[in-house]
Structure 1
Amino acid sequence: MAILVLYATVEGHSRKIAEHVAADLETRGHMVVLGDLREPGFAVPGRFDGIVLCAPIHIGRYPDPVIHFATDWKDALNSVPNAFVSVSLAIASESEEEREHARAYPLGLEKKTGYRPQFVHHAAGALKYLEYDFFKRMMLRHISAKEGGPVDTSRDHELTDWDALDRFVADFSDLVVRTEDAEPSAI
């Protein structure tokens, strides 16, 4: 099966997650095309057996390229098995209220764009302390401390549960195969 994996990224971690998803799908025998939504020239989504979108939440919203793509291609996205990986730090919070808030973002994307993900996975992002300027580092350290997260600013912290992501990819891969097997052959 041919699967399109597209991502938008702000600090690079959503790209890493998308690359991981693509590699996992390839090990499961799929042909995968990986693309950055900010770059022109990726394939038309309607020509794939499945599509995975990966996007981070930053300052309470998904990046504009995700919104535009989902709006422009909602019919193609909704016509094939599709999955959405929502990347946020809030999903790793100790606060159930924060996690619930993070879980609501894909519904907001659906209402805004008309794109209806069949599978949604909430992946915790990364704290890139070494890449932040002083003010952003201190602000995120404060927020992380309040949420029970890592506060050591001398290194970066990946909070992604890679095993949970692999299970999600396995379930999505199975859906794509089942859907393809269920479709009548064209003669």
Structure 2
Amino acid sequence: MMKVLFLYSSREGQTKKIFEYIDGQLQGDECEFKNLHEIEQVDLSLYDRVLVGASIRYGHLNKKLYQFIESHLAQLENSKVAFFCVNLTARKEEQGKDTPEGSAYIQTFLKKSPWKPELIGVFAGALYYPRYNWIDKMMIKLIMTMTGGETDTTKEVEYTNWQKVTLFAEKFKNLT
């Protein structure tokens, strides 16, 4: 049995939901969840594999992710670690926005971060309009209007491609 650490930065819960799904794919492994917003230090050497996942909000990854990378860079570089990003733009699979090469967010991350993960995933997130406060609801509606997405603020729409998450979980499981 492998010991696996899941480190997540989730705003509305879709990133954590993706982690929970991956947990189900790693049957037989002991998976531990930690919120990047609540931890200061962690010893990655205690784990066989580590998966870091973070969501985009208003075009940016949370600064806690970059702080974590900065303070744990040596450990990240010496461990079996993968990364995935969750964003609404990745719903445009036909445009390649769901790939590390086609994701502007991943390209920005790779320029800003000293850590270069060996395995990177990009997954579409979810729209949870009824859960947003009024300002977020209107801002996200504006963004979705500009990008051709759902604008009905009474709806919750999940764009995550679970088959793609399954394939990523297999790659993560076989990370060497």
**TM-score scaled to structure 1, two decimals?**
0.81
In structure 2, what is the equivalent of residue 126 of structure 1? 126
Which runs of 5 or more structure 2 residues have no equivalent in the other structure?
none
Deviation at residue 120 of structure 1 after TM alignment: 0.9
Structure 1 unmatched ranges of 5 or more? 180-187
Contact 1:7-1:15 within 8 A present in 2 as well: yes
Give 1:36 shift: 0.4
* Stretch moving more, 89-98 or 128-137: 89-98
Whole-Å Cα distance in 1 between the matches of residues 151 and 94 of structure 2? Answer: 17
**RMSD (Å), alpha carbons:** 2.4
Number of the residue aligned with 1:17: 18
Matched, 1:145 2:145: yes
CA deviations 1:125-154 (Å, max 9, x no partner) are 111100123343233223323323223322
Higher strand share: 2
Secondary structure of residue in 2 paired with 1:114: coil
Deviation at 1:94, TM superposition (A): 7.4
Structure 2: how far apart are the matches of 1:157 and 1:34? 25
> Contact 2:124–2:160 at 8 Å: present in 1 too?
yes
- SS state at 1:56 partner: strand
Structure 2: distance between partners of 1:95 and 1:166: 19
After superposition, residues 30-41 of structure 1 pair within 5 angstroms as 30-40=29-39
1:97 Cα deviation from its structure 2 partner: 8.6
* Within-5 A mapping of 1:36-75: 36-40=35-39, 43-75=42-74
TM-score by length of 2: 0.85
Q: Which residue of 2 aligns with 1:4?
A: 5
Residue identity matched to 2:61: Y
Equivalent residues, number: 174
CA contact (8 A) 1:22 1:34 kept: no
For residue 172 of structure 1, what is the aligned residue in structure 2? 172
Which residue does the alignment assign to 2:82? 83
CA distance in 1, matches of 2:166, 2:97: 24
Deviates more, 1:158-167 or 1:109-118: 109-118
The residue type paired with residue 15 of structure 1 is: K
Q: Distance in 2 between matches of 1:56 and 1:16?
A: 12
The structure richer in helix per residue is 1
**Structure 2: distance between partners of 1:13 and 1:125:** 6
Paired residues of 2:98 and 2:123 also in contact (CA < 8 A): no
Q: Distance in 2 between matches of 1:18 and 1:91?
A: 17
Structure 1 residue 99: Cα displacement? 6.2
AA in 1 matched with 2:5 = L
Q: Which has the larger radius of gyration?
A: 1
Inter-partner Cα distance in structure 1 for 2:93 and 2:110 = 26
**Deviating 4+ runs (over 6 angstroms):** 97-102
Identity percentage of aligned residues: 28
What corresponds to 1:92 in structure 2? 91
Q: Which residue of 1 aligns with 2:103?
A: 103
SS state at 1:73 partner:
helix
How far apart are the structure 1 equivalents of 2:145 and 2:7? Answer: 32
Determine helix, strand or coil for the equivalent of 2:120: strand
